[in-house]
Amino acid sequence: MNPTIEVLRKHRSIRKYQPIALPEEHIDAIIESAQMASTSSNVQAYTIIGVTDPAKKQELARLAGNQAYIEQCGLFLVFCADLHRLKEATELHGETFHQNTESFLVATVDATLAAQNAAVAAESLGYGICYIGGIRNNPQDVSVLLQLPQLTYPVFGMCVGVPDQEPSSRPRLPRHAVYHSDAYDKEKVTLGTQQYDDTMHEYYKERTNGKTLTTWSKGITDKYAKPGRGHIRPFLEGRGFRLE
């Protein structure tokens, strides 16, 4: 099999790490790989903060919901959408920087593309990774801790380190539920959800020795039956983003 595809297919979220620091050459390789990700019009509207300081990792773990693996991993990366740099570049030429929802999306997507490149690079080097969306639980405190300027925000974090566990791969939705030819097929989505519910019911049953009997759609219901992180928009507006 193509080695790149093999790395991608072996992805698992790692939530337990050995206390081993990453060598600088590996950090360089991961960040250089992140920088080679596609970016809209070459704006490169993201910044990556690498955190190795134990005290800062401990505080980030607390702010993200007491996720201990942030403290354990050899390197914690925080991927930030960054319009601050673009504003500075525009003002170098005496112009006013204009931004709106589109530029906000561009920065968020740029950060995400860079992060996935970093994840694949890290896994190709034998490390485990875990995305940390919990960084948005307390985004203002995270911004203060990392000294982020206006027009930046932490999109998510990523643990990187030497794995100290071998979790099984979690099944994904059937291909026909996510890949459609020429047009969106709602019937295939419905069928795919039903099939995936059966798959995940068996997965949870086996993984927990029968203690958890649930489905994917039930988990989605529990997550989205009520609003989540309602503080995000006021936070973003306070950071100077214009969502219009």
- Averages of pLDDT over each 10 residues, the chain, 244 residues: 94 96 98 98 98 98 97 98 98 98 98 98 98 98 98 98 95 97 98 98 94 96 95 97 94
Alpha-carbon distance of 7 to 140, in angstroms, equals 35
Specify the residue for token string 């991993």. 73
pTM of the model: 0.96
Would you state the pLDDT for residue 1?
A: 77
Would you state the pLDDT for residue 197?
A: 98
Would you state the pLDDT for residue 113?
A: 98
What is the three-class DSSP state of 82? strand
State the architecture of 3-165+226-238 in CATH terms: 3-Layer(aba) Sandwich (3.40)
Would you state the pLDDT for residue 19?
A: 92
DSSP 48-80: EEEE--HHHHHHHHHHTTS-THHHHSSEEEEEE
Would you state the pLDDT for residue 26?
A: 98
Residue 232: name the closest of 126, 111, 113, 143 by CA.
143
Pair of tokens at residue 145: 């801790």
Residue 119: name the closest of 146, 17, 167, 111 by CA.
111
Domain boundaries, the chain: 3-165+226-238, 175-213
Structure-derived torsion over alpha carbons of residues 183, 223, 153, 41, reported in degrees to the nearest 10: -10
CA–CA distance from 120 to each of 109, 144, 168, 214, 234 (Å)? 17, 29, 18, 31, 33
